[in-house]
Structure 1
Amino acid sequence: MSSQSLPQADGSAAAHKPLNSPAEVIGASLVGTTVEFYDFYVYATAAVLVFPKLFFPSVNHTAALLASFGVFGAAMVARPVGAIFYGHMGDKSGRKATLVACLLTMGVATFCVGILPTYGQVGILAPALLLILRLTQGFALGGEWSGAALVATENAPENKRALYGTFPQLGAPIGFIIANGLFLIINYSLPHPDGSAMQSDAFLSWGWRIPFLFSAVMVAIGLWVRSKLAESETFKQAEKQGVIVKVPLFDTLRHHFKAVVLGTFAMLATYVLFYLMTTFSLTYGTASSSASPAGLGIEYTDFVLMQIIGVVFFGLFTLLSGPLADVVGRRKLLIWVTVIIIVFALMFPIFLDDKSGTSFSGALVEAFLILGFTLMGFTFGPMGALLPEMFPTNVRYTGSAIAYNVSSIIGAALAPIIATALWSAAGGSTWMVGVYLAAASVLTLVALLLTHETKDMDYNGDLGVSD
Structure 2
Amino acid sequence: MTTLPTDHTPSPDSASHVPANLKKVKRAAAASILGTTLEYYEFYIYASAAALVFPHVFFPTADPYIGMMLSLSTFAIGSIVRPIAAGVLGHYGDRLGRKKMLMITLGLMGLSTFLIGCLPSYDAIGLWAPGLLVLLRIMQGISVAGEQAGSGTLTLEHAPVGRRGFFCSFTPAGTAGGFLVATAVFGLVALMPDEDLLAWGWRLPFYASILLVIAAFLVRRYLDEPEVFEEAKEHDEIVKSPVATLFRTHKAEVSRVFVASLFAVLFQIPPVFGLAFATSPDVGVSRTTMLWVSIASFTIALLTYPLFSGLSDRIGRKPVFIVGTLGSGLAVFPYLAAITAGNVPMIFATGILVMGLLTVAANAVYPSFFGEMFNVKVRFTGLALGTQVGFALAGFAPAIGWALIGKGSTNWLPVAVMVLVCCVLASIAAATAPETYKTPVEKLGNSIR
Normalising by structure 2, report the TM-score: 0.91
The Cα of 1:37 is off from its aligned counterpart by 0.6
The Cα of 1:20 is off from its aligned counterpart by 4.2
Counterpart residue number, 1:419: 401
Out of 401, 406, 417, which is 2:389 matched to?
406
C-alpha distance after superposition, 1:16-40 (max 9, x if no partner): 6437434412221111111111111
Out of 125, 137, 142, which is 1:139 matched to?
142
Show structure 2 runs of 5+ residues with no match: none
8 Å CA contact retained: 1:91, 1:398: yes
Find the aligned partners of 1:55 and 1:337 in 2 and give their Cα distance.
37
Is 1:154 matched up with 2:164? no
Counterpart residue number, 2:296: 309
8 Å CA contact retained: 1:422, 1:433: yes
Counterpart residue number, 2:345: 363
Out of 222, 225, 229, which is 2:219 matched to?
225
Counterpart residue number, 1:274: 267
Find the aligned partners of 1:98 and 1:406 in 2 and give their Cα distance.
19
Counterpart residue number, 1:196: none
Counterpart residue number, 1:195: none
Judging changes above 3 Å, is the alpha-carbon distance between structure 1 residues 93 and 11 closer, same or farther for their aligned structure 2 residues?
Answer: farther
Counterpart residue number, 2:441: 459
Out of 26, 29, 33, which is 2:29 matched to?
26
Out of 104, 128, 131, which is 1:128 matched to?
131
Counterpart residue number, 2:245: 251
Out of 425, 432, 436, which is 1:450 matched to?
432
Judging changes above 3 Å, is the alpha-carbon distance between structure 1 residues 124 and 420 closer, same or farther for their aligned structure 2 residues?
Answer: closer
C-alpha distance after superposition, 1:321-342 (max 9, x if no partner): 1110000000122233334335
Find the aligned partners of 1:217 and 1:258 in 2 and give their Cα distance.
41
Find the aligned partners of 1:84 and 1:380 in 2 and give their Cα distance.
22
SS of alignment partner, residue 460 of structure 1: helix
The Cα of 1:178 is off from its aligned counterpart by 0.8
Counterpart residue number, 1:386: 369
Is 1:235 matched up with 2:205? no
Counterpart residue number, 2:48: 45
C-alpha distance after superposition, 1:144-194 (max 9, x if no partner): 001111122111123100001110111111111111111122233x4x2xx
Find the aligned partners of 1:42 and 1:121 in 2 and give their Cα distance.
22
Find the aligned partners of 2:304 and 2:4 in 1 and give their Cα distance.
33
Deviates more, 1:218-227 or 1:449-458: 449-458
Judging changes above 3 Å, is the alpha-carbon distance between structure 1 residues 328 and 464 closer, same or farther for their aligned structure 2 residues?
Answer: closer
Counterpart residue number, 2:58: 55
Is 1:285 matched up with 2:271? no
Amino acid at match of 1:7: T
8 Å CA contact retained: 1:351, 1:367: no
Find the aligned partners of 2:362 and 2:128 in 1 and give their Cα distance.
41
Is 1:108 matched up with 2:111? yes
Counterpart residue number, 1:81: 84
Amino acid at match of 1:379: A
The Cα of 1:120 is off from its aligned counterpart by 3.2
Normalising by structure 1, report the TM-score: 0.88
The Cα of 1:4 is off from its aligned counterpart by 5.9
Out of 213, 221, 224, which is 2:207 matched to?
213
Counterpart residue number, 2:256: 262
8 Å CA contact retained: 1:20, 1:230: no
Find the aligned partners of 2:333 and 2:271 in 1 and give their Cα distance.
18
Amino acid at match of 1:3: L
Is 1:68 matched up with 2:61? no
Judging changes above 3 Å, is the alpha-carbon distance between structure 1 residues 303 and 145 closer, same or farther for their aligned structure 2 residues?
Answer: same
Show structure 1 runs of 5+ residues with no match: 193-198
C-alpha distance after superposition, 1:95-141 (max 9, x if no partner): 11110011011111111112223333333332222221111110111
The Cα of 1:346 is off from its aligned counterpart by 5.4
Deviates more, 1:327-336 or 1:95-104: 327-336
Find the aligned partners of 1:115 and 1:425 in 2 and give their Cα distance.
32
C-alpha distance after superposition, 1:217-247 (max 9, x if no partner): 1111111110011111111011112111111
Amino acid at match of 1:281: G
* 1:181-200 aligned within 5 A: 181-188=184-191, 190=192, 192=193, 199-200=194-195
* 1:162-173 aligned within 5 A: 162-173=165-176
8 Å CA contact retained: 1:352, 1:430: no
SS of alignment partner, residue 97 of structure 1: helix
Find the aligned partners of 1:25 and 1:243 in 2 and give their Cα distance.
24
* 1:87-102 aligned within 5 A: 87-102=90-105
C-alpha distance after superposition, 1:371-422 (max 9, x if no partner): 1121011111000201111110010000001111111122232x22333344
The Cα of 1:81 is off from its aligned counterpart by 1.8
The Cα of 1:274 is off from its aligned counterpart by 2.2
Find the aligned partners of 1:9 and 1:435 in 2 and give their Cα distance.
48
Find the aligned partners of 1:58 and 1:352 in 2 and give their Cα distance.
26
Judging changes above 3 Å, is the alpha-carbon distance between structure 1 residues 437 and 122 closer, same or farther for their aligned structure 2 residues?
Answer: closer
C-alpha distance after superposition, 1:239-295 (max 9, x if no partner): 1121111111111122212111111111212x122222201221232234xx2xxx2
8 Å CA contact retained: 1:16, 1:233: no
8 Å CA contact retained: 2:103, 2:217: yes
